A and B are shown apart, each in its own frame.
Chain A
């Protein structure tokens, strides 16, 4: 059965698969780009409403077209496109009207437009169902997407639309960067807020229209969100976000198709109705959501798990430095037992600690106790220095109660960077004694 799996290359060479696959990839590419804009402007749910707004637009287009009959079939996809675009655009306008003229908050406005659009759409669709059942089916496909039945001209069409999106974004990019992060600055710079807003609106609608065919109305909003979410985890700038989002989106588009077909192949026996595979739209979204979720968990900078790891590392550093301080104060050697007791370490942990520090050359074993090496001594000295410098800062400079400074210094000694240390030394004029009159070790900066 495994040999039935369709080889990878076929997805690009065999028209049975390639058309749907490439078209989907293009569409996901475009929506993931727009998704960055909606994400950054915190309007991630607008896709949901606009996607539903296209529904009555298309239904109306088909109904009107039906009145002209005859050669309508030929311009079918164009009619759908136009209908969707008009529907989406009106939906967007309606939303803004509700928010601005009627002071309805955006959450409610979104819901309002969504439900009215859907109601209207369902109404028109039911009419279509009896007058033109074939077209009704096509309309219903919009709900879930019907990637598998796309044709070559779809690929061209969506390639062109995607290109439009890219151009628009590249063109608007500088204005966008400023606009979204600082609207005041933008208007001061004379960047046309209104114009950017206008084009962005068209882009929103365009993305929705483009994405309809692959994932369908209901899941489109997911495709606007998931790639952007994943991209955020790896980007420091807006530009990077666009790039990552496009990558994730396109990959999801591919994998969705891939898995859909392969699943069909593998499940053919137990689910004969699935010979065309699992529905593509949902699969694309699940892949994209999976990528988003993994990114949230694992991305180096902002991921959940790396953060946990860094917290753990920091806590270990604090522990080590505290032990070093102890050794420093006790003038050199400390028995292993005492170390264990002071810091409540298990035998295993203590051994690991000792072994680690020995390797780093911080201390060495002398019989049953530990002794600082010169390297270790220097390190300990620095920690103590930071502690006492901080105490001087709090007590002498900021005038804080003596009772509280020690506690804070216990924390800060592990945190102060060399830069901050330099600044402190300079600010406090290279103090030699702390508030408890202990010597501050180490060299200061010459004032």
Chain B
């Protein structure tokens, strides 16, 4: 099996082998098809990580993180409808789990529009408070999605797969999708950085400066859906939330400049992916315990957040400790 190169190696040798392989890839000496599943995982997580860092930063700043959670649930409905449509158009041979670009696009468009529209409808027309509107919409759509999945795929237990994804089933084709997502998110970031900044920081001012808050919110929602769906193959729909939120929070502890925050979040994501996959592989091959790679990566991100919490220049425990010591010293000399 192609995992030979990583099997049973020492933990840190993992990185040596990985970077060597990446070098070969970049200089054209190795092809995409020759990548091992571990390498594909890392690359996929890396690309997703950057996409999520970009999208997640603004979601958190706009206090829309739970909306992302909402979307990650309603995405299920979107995918099912898209699959049904594709199947109707292309016949029964269309495999239930092949999520390609067209499906991705339709599904993300559908889910984000539907979620946003229904939540808005409940809030504005039916006058239901915002938190209840969000909650009601996504749980109901999710329930509908499960029923639809049950009916159309004739298998009531598909659910778990969708929720957790199967990172070990990634294919080099998925890398392409991750790449396109990355390109999309990066371009939108570069194009609309100041628009996103202004509509997140001070929407009233944004309105006065004649930027449409609505447009940019919907755009962000679309980006989130697309990224969520793109990630579903790698880590499952629900773990994307961690990718969106944890690295950004970690970065926030370390800097107060927005663009630095996005870059740092990407870096943390990359690092977590590398360390996480390596760790999972190490534990499997050396201790013979099979753990979910997605789970390990998330916990690695959590670990980095914890570290950042201690060393954070603003909120860190270390800083507070040092400050307290300094203060004590000052008082002592009075």
Which B residues lie within 8 Å of A218 (CB)?
73, 139, 142, 163
Flag if B290 contacts A130 (CB, 8 Å): yes
Flag if B159 contacts A278 (CB, 8 Å): no
Answer yes or no: A199 CB below 8 A from chain B CBs.
no
Of listed B139, B159, B302, residue having the most chain A CB within 10 A: B139
Flag if A115 contacts B242 (CB, 8 Å): yes
A339-B140 Cα distance, complex, nearest whole Å? 52
Flag if A114 contacts B132 (CB, 8 Å): no
Flag if A110 contacts B298 (CB, 8 Å): no
Chain B: which residue is nearest A222 at the CB level?
Answer: B139
A440-B297 Cα distance, complex, nearest whole Å? 81
Which A residues lie within 8 Å of B245 (CB)?
108, 111-112, 115
Chain B: which residue is nearest A46 at the CB level?
Answer: B131
Secondary structure type dominating chain B contacts? helix
Residues in B120-168 with C-beta less than 8 Å from chain A: 122, 125-129, 131-132, 134-136, 139-140, 142-144, 146-147, 150-151, 154-156, 159-160, 163-164
- Please tell me which one of the listed residues A44, A108, A273 contacts residue B63 in the complex, with CB atoms under 8 A apart: A108
Flag if A107 contacts B64 (CB, 8 Å): yes
A12-B47 Cα distance, complex, nearest whole Å? 54
Chain A: which residue is nearest B64 at the CB level?
Answer: A107
Answer yes or no: B241 CB below 8 A from chain A CBs.
yes
Flag if B135 contacts A107 (CB, 8 Å): no
Flag if B65 contacts A111 (CB, 8 Å): yes
Flag if A118 contacts B65 (CB, 8 Å): no
A126-B60 Cα distance, complex, nearest whole Å? 29
Answer yes or no: A372 CB below 8 A from chain B CBs.
no
Q: How large is the interface on B (under 10, 10 to 19, 20 to 34, 35 or more residues)?
A: 35 or more
Which B residues lie within 8 Å of A221 (CB)?
135, 139
Answer yes or no: A153 CB below 8 A from chain B CBs.
no
Flag if A225 contacts B163 (CB, 8 Å): no
Chain B: which residue is nearest A121 at the CB level?
Answer: B295
Answer yes or no: A297 CB below 8 A from chain B CBs.
yes
Of listed B63, B69, B164, B296, residue having the most chain A CB within 10 A: B69
- Please tell me which one of the listed residues A219, A271, A273 contacts residue B142 in the complex, with CB atoms under 8 A apart: A219
Answer yes or no: B239 CB below 8 A from chain A CBs.
yes
Flag if A48 contacts B147 (CB, 8 Å): no
- Please tell me which one of the listed residues B134, B239, B292 contacts residue A115 in the complex, with CB atoms under 8 A apart: B239
Which B residues lie within 8 Å of A121 (CB)?
295
Knowing A221-B135, A282-B143, say if A122 contacts B164 (CB, 8 Å): yes
A296-B63 Cα distance, complex, nearest whole Å? 26
Flag if B290 contacts A126 (CB, 8 Å): yes
Flag if B295 contacts A297 (CB, 8 Å): no
Which B residues lie within 8 Å of A130 (CB)?
289-290
Knowing A44-B132, A122-B295, A228-B132, say if A286 contacts B143 (CB, 8 Å): yes
Flag if B146 contacts A279 (CB, 8 Å): yes
- Please tell me which one of the listed residues A39, A118, A123, A279 contacts residue B238 in the complex, with CB atoms under 8 A apart: A118
Least CB distance from A284 to B in Å reads: 8
Chain A: which residue is nearest B146 at the CB level?
Answer: A282
Flag if A123 contacts B239 (CB, 8 Å): no
Answer yes or no: A144 CB below 8 A from chain B CBs.
yes
Which A residues lie within 8 Å of B151 (CB)?
271, 278
Answer yes or no: B294 CB below 8 A from chain A CBs.
yes
Which A residues lie within 8 Å of B290 (CB)?
126-127, 129-130
A167-B97 Cα distance, complex, nearest whole Å? 48
Flag if B126 contacts A118 (CB, 8 Å): no
Answer yes or no: B315 CB below 8 A from chain A CBs.
yes
Flag if B150 contacts A285 (CB, 8 Å): no
- Please tell me which one of the listed residues A116, A119, A120, A304 contacts residue B125 in the complex, with CB atoms under 8 A apart: A304
Residues in A269-287 with C-beta less than 8 Å from chain B: 271, 273-274, 278-279, 281-283, 285-286
Least CB distance from B89 to A in Å reads: 22
Residues in B292-307 with C-beta less than 8 Å from chain A: 292, 294-299, 301-302
Which A residues lie within 8 Å of B64 (CB)?
107
Least CB distance from B150 to A in Å reads: 6
Least CB distance from B328 to A in Å reads: 22
Which B residues lie within 8 Å of A432 (CB)?
none
Which B residues lie within 8 Å of A302 (CB)?
127
Which B residues lie within 8 Å of A110 (CB)?
65-66
Q: Mark A96-122, 1 if CB is under 8 A from B, else 0.
A: 000000101101101110111011111
A426-B65 Cα distance, complex, nearest whole Å? 57
Flag if B246 contacts A116 (CB, 8 Å): yes
Which A residues lie within 8 Å of B140 (CB)?
222, 226, 285-286, 289
Chain B: which residue is nearest A42 at the CB level?
Answer: B131
Answer yes or no: A143 CB below 8 A from chain B CBs.
yes
Which A residues lie within 8 Å of B129 (CB)?
39, 42, 44
Answer yes or no: B114 CB below 8 A from chain A CBs.
no
Flag if B249 contacts A108 (CB, 8 Å): yes
Flag if B154 contacts A273 (CB, 8 Å): yes
Residues in A122-147 with C-beta less than 8 Å from chain B: 122-127, 129-130, 140, 143-144
Of listed A111, A118, A120, A124, residue having the most chain B CB within 10 A: A111
Which A residues lie within 8 Å of B164 (CB)?
122
Least CB distance from A207 to B in Å reads: 14
Least CB distance from A48 to B in Å reads: 7
Least CB distance from B295 to A in Å reads: 3
Answer yes or no: B258 CB below 8 A from chain A CBs.
no
Flag if A127 contacts B150 (CB, 8 Å): no
Chain A: which residue is nearest B298 at the CB level?
Answer: A119
A119-B160 Cα distance, complex, nearest whole Å? 14
Least CB distance from B24 to A in Å reads: 31
Chain A: which residue is nearest B301 at the CB level?
Answer: A119
Knowing A112-B245, A116-B298, A302-B127, say if A289 contacts B143 (CB, 8 Å): yes
Least CB distance from A234 to B in Å reads: 14
Least CB distance from A102 to B in Å reads: 6
Flag if B66 contacts A107 (CB, 8 Å): yes
Flag if B143 contacts A285 (CB, 8 Å): yes
- Please tell me which one of the listed residues A116, A129, A286, A296 contacts residue B122 in the complex, with CB atoms under 8 A apart: A296
Flag if B69 contacts A48 (CB, 8 Å): yes
Knowing A279-B147, A279-B156, A297-B126, say if A119 contacts B289 (CB, 8 Å): no
Q: Mark A64-84, 1 if CB is under 8 A from B, else 0.
A: 000000000000000000000
- Please tell me which one of the listed residues B125, B147, B241, B291 contacts residue A278 in the complex, with CB atoms under 8 A apart: B147
Flag if A278 contacts B139 (CB, 8 Å): no
Flag if B292 contacts A123 (CB, 8 Å): yes
Residues in B265-302 with C-beta less than 8 Å from chain A: 289-292, 294-299, 301-302
Q: Mark A11-40, 1 if CB is under 8 A from B, else 0.
A: 000000000000000000000000000010
- Provide a sorted-by-A list of 9 A–B residue pairs whose CB atoms are within 8 angstroms: A108-B65, A108-B245, A119-B299, A143-B159, A219-B142, A281-B146, A282-B147, A286-B147, A296-B128
What 7 pairs between A and B have smallest CB-CB spacing? Answer: A119-B298, A222-B139, A123-B295, A126-B292, A282-B143, A115-B242, A111-B65
Given contacts A119-B301, A283-B143, 7 further A-B pairs with CB under 8 A are A119-B298, A123-B296, A124-B295, A144-B159, A228-B132, A273-B155, A274-B150
